[in-house]
């Protein structure tokens, strides 16, 4: 099998693989990571607020996202939301969402649940005495969180946040179900076109391994450097 291995097909496909496939993957990863971090922080604050209704809603959201297969969520949003939206606005035709918009919204919403748990753990790692001291000074819950707790909690979370972003980078390969050209979809199309499955899938695996290994190595180097000194 390896005697017929063709490196040429890899070299000639590099502009397409990285210029379109990798660019798409990195763009989706960055946008979903930023959106997921922001929304996840709000969900974590809502879950720790203790406000009836808001606390239960945040918990239900996290538990739902963590209990449903991600690929199923992508299917749900892409195929069902256009019809649900059309029903809500009284339209006879499904609303146009688009494959990329579906992927971005789904990844952001789904990752927000994971980021929320990381945020919640980071917030709870701060001694409760600091919260009590802030409240004794007359600060509200939101003032305490934004001015006292969150700045310290974020220092504890970079390794976990980066680890979750590595997982997100790997998960973006699931957009193949929407026929989008990410870094997994690009070599798949070339493999089917040229009949070079071994070369394309092996190259994709090597690239994914290299990027994730280097990112994981960086996380290990950062481990312990961001912890709050007590």
pLDDT given for residue 2 in this prediction: 59
> What single DSSP character describes residue 5?
-
Tokens of residue 147, six digits = 């001015």
In the chain, which residues have pLDDT < 70? 1-3, 223-230
User: What are the residue boundaries of the structural domains of the chain, listed by start?
Assistant: 2-222
Residue 230: the pLDDT is 47
The pTM of the full predicted model, rounded to 2 decimals, is: 0.83
What fold does the segment set 2-222 form as a domain?
Answer: MetI-like fold (1.10.3720)
Give the model's pLDDT for residue 213: 92
Count other C-beta atoms under 10 Å from residue 1's C-beta. 5
pLDDT of residue 22: 93
Q: Which of 112, 116, 123, 120 is nearest to 155 (CA)?
A: 123
Predicted confidence at residue 229, as pLDDT, reads: 46
**Residue 16 contacts by C-beta under 8 Å, 6 or more apart in sequence?**
186, 190
Asked whether 186 and 17 are in contact (CB, 8 A), the reply is: yes
Contact 144, 70 (CB under 8 A): no
89: its two tokens: 């606005």
Rounded to whole angstroms, the Cα distance separating 145 from 186 reads 44
The predicted structure's pLDDT at residue 108: 93
């Amino acid at each position: 099998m390896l005697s017929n291995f063709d490196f040429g097909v890899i070299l000639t496909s590099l502009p397409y693989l990285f210029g379109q496939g990798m660019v798409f993957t990195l763009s989706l990863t960055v946008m979903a990571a930023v959106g997921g971090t922001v929304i996840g922080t709000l969900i974590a604050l809502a879950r720790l607020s203790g406000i009836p209704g808001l606390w239960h809603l945040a918990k239900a959201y996290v538990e739902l996202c963590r209990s449903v297969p991600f690929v199923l969520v992508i299917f749900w949003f892409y195929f069902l939301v256009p019809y649900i939206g059309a029903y809500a606005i009284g339209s006879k035709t499904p609303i146009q969402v688009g494959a990329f918009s579906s992927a971005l919204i789904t990844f952001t919403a789904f990752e927000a649940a994971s980021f929320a748990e990381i945020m919640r753990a980071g917030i709870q790692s701060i001694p409760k005495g600091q919260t009590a001291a802030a409240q004794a000074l007359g600060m509200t819950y939101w003032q305490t969180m934004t001015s006292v707790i969150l700045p310290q909690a974020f220092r504890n979370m970079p390794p976990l946040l980066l680890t979750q972003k590595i997982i997100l980078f790997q998960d973006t390969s699931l957009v193949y179900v929407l026929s989008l050209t990410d870094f997994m979809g690009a070599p798949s199309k070339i493999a089917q076109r040229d009949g070079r499955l071994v070369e394309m899938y092996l190259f994709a695996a090597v690239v994914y391994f290299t990027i994730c290994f280097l990112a994981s190595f960086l996380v290990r180097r950062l481990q312990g450097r961001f912890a709050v000194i007590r």
